[in-house]
A and B are shown apart, each in its own frame.
Chain A
Amino acid sequence: MERTEDLIELCLLMGKIMQQNGAETYRVEDTMTRIAQSFGRDEAQSYVTPTGIVFTISPGAPAKLVRVSARETNLEKVKLANNVSRNITNGDMSTHVAYKELRKIETSPTDYSMLMQIIAATLASGFFSLMFQGSWYDFLPACIAGGLGFIALINFIRLFEIKFVAEFIASLLIGFTAFSLFSLGIGKEVDKVVVGSIMPLVPGLLITNAVRDLMAGHLISGLAKGAEAFLTAFAIGAGIAVMFALF
């Protein structure tokens, strides 16, 4: 027989890893209750918001809370956590082994090196400026501005720990780079360059997830994600606007 405390800890850790790394709200709730069900706890309930998770194993039992302070998108970890939950519900993994496995996933380093992510952001910026009907002349300046912006973002997030400020400074840098290159005669349409190079920062996924959560009835999650997306969009827009005013 599994100990109840272990099971609760396992469910909470599973929920935390999934929520921190960008799984959908309903999937987090679903996975947590399904793990509890696989151990015969049919009345477990979970309540997931972007900033915290509440879980109770049975109606009379005390509820437990986990705070989720930082969110990012790491699909690899979502996949690994999903594998663990699959193994648990199939009965192939005990709570003890699963808990250890999840701890390993939580602390495992990212699969891609920083350099590779920067290169990816650089290329993404260039190709996005092409997709928004930019010409090939805009490809190179968009790459440069987008790459620099991304480097600034990851470094300033470490420095300030307030995402909003880091995004503002990154978009200032993007604006500065794009407008300077444009005034040097590199690039055809400065708008396309800017739009392409801010794409790695833009909260597009958050906006979509926010609407999706609202539709699924997760009203708090939806509004919270919407607010986060709005703040980010505001930071980026403000940074670019400052550069517009200067140039």
Chain B
Amino acid sequence: MLIEYAIASFFASAAFGIIYQAPRNTIIKCGLVGMIGWVIYISLVWREVDSVPATLIASFVIAMVSQMLARIYKTPMIIFSVPGIIPLVPGSLAYDAMRNFVQNDYSVAISIAAKAFMISGAIAFGLVFSEVLNQIIKKIRQTKVQLR
């Protein structure tokens, strides 16, 4: 059920906002950002998109939303993006890989670790991509102002 996942990811992200000591008035927004990201991710995965591109798209959207919120509330963007990104982070994969490593199941471990690395790469790529897009938009606006 999508609604169940949405609720779970909202509370998980908001709780991570508290663990990471986000300012009190941003906790609900952190939860919402996390929820948006996870809903996008899970609905893409359900449509049989691979988890790497699904993560890329979700993290891109999270970064865009965080940047918007950051501009509105004049705070650094990471306050929203860090708790929001947490559900996407391949923590469970990293753990799974390590568990296989310590159980001497190296070939399984390596392939899971590679997947975890790909997913963290996708998250980072999504974040960087949205930043670049943002800068381009900013530059276009500046040149427009100058042309006038």
* Interface presence of B24 (CB below 8 A): yes
Contact (Cβ within 8 A) A211 B76: no
Name the residue among B21, B74, B82 with the largest chain A CB count within 10 angstroms: B21
Contact of A233 among B15, B74, B94 (CB under 8 A): B94
| Number of chain B interface residues as a range | 35 or more
Q: How far, in whole Å, are A212 and B89 apart by their CA atoms in the complex?
A: 13
* Interface presence of A128 (CB below 8 A): yes
Q: How far, in whole Å, are A36 and B99 apart by their CA atoms in the complex?
A: 48
Interface size on A, residues (CB 8 A): 52
Chain A residues, CB < 8 A from B21: 73-77, 110-112
Where chain A touches its partner, the secondary structure class is helix
Chain B residue nearest to A139 in the complex (CB): B8
Contact (Cβ within 8 A) B124 A212: yes
* Interface presence of A70 (CB below 8 A): no
Contact of A79 among B4, B12, B75 (CB under 8 A): B75
Q: How far, in whole Å, are A128 and B15 apart by their CA atoms in the complex?
A: 11
Contact (Cβ within 8 A) A205 B89: yes
Chain A residues, CB < 8 A from B20: 22, 73-75
Question: Using an 8 Å CB-CB cutoff, how does the interface string of B81-103 with A read, 1 for contact, 0 for none?
Answer: 01101110111101111110111
Q: How far, in whole Å, are A131 and B41 apart by their CA atoms in the complex?
A: 12
Where chain B touches its partner, the secondary structure class is helix
Q: How far, in whole Å, are A203 and B116 apart by their CA atoms in the complex?
A: 12
* Interface presence of B79 (CB below 8 A): yes
Contact (Cβ within 8 A) A111 B23: yes
Q: How far, in whole Å, are A117 and B91 apart by their CA atoms in the complex?
A: 20
- Interface of chain A residues 188 through 247 with chain B (CB within 8 A): 194-195, 198-200, 202-205, 207-208, 210-212, 215-216, 229, 233-234, 236-238, 240-241, 244
* Interface presence of B9 (CB below 8 A): yes
Chain B residues, CB < 8 A from A237: 95, 97-99, 101-102
Which of B's residues lie within 8 Å of A, judged by CB?
4-5, 8-9, 11-12, 15-24, 26, 38, 74-76, 78-79, 82-83, 85-87, 89-92, 94-99, 101-103, 116-117, 120-121, 123-125, 127-128
Which of A's residues lie within 8 Å of B, judged by CB?
22-24, 27, 73-79, 82, 86, 110-112, 116-117, 120-121, 123-124, 127-128, 130-132, 194-195, 198-200, 202-205, 207-208, 210-212, 215-216, 229, 233-234, 236-238, 240-241, 244
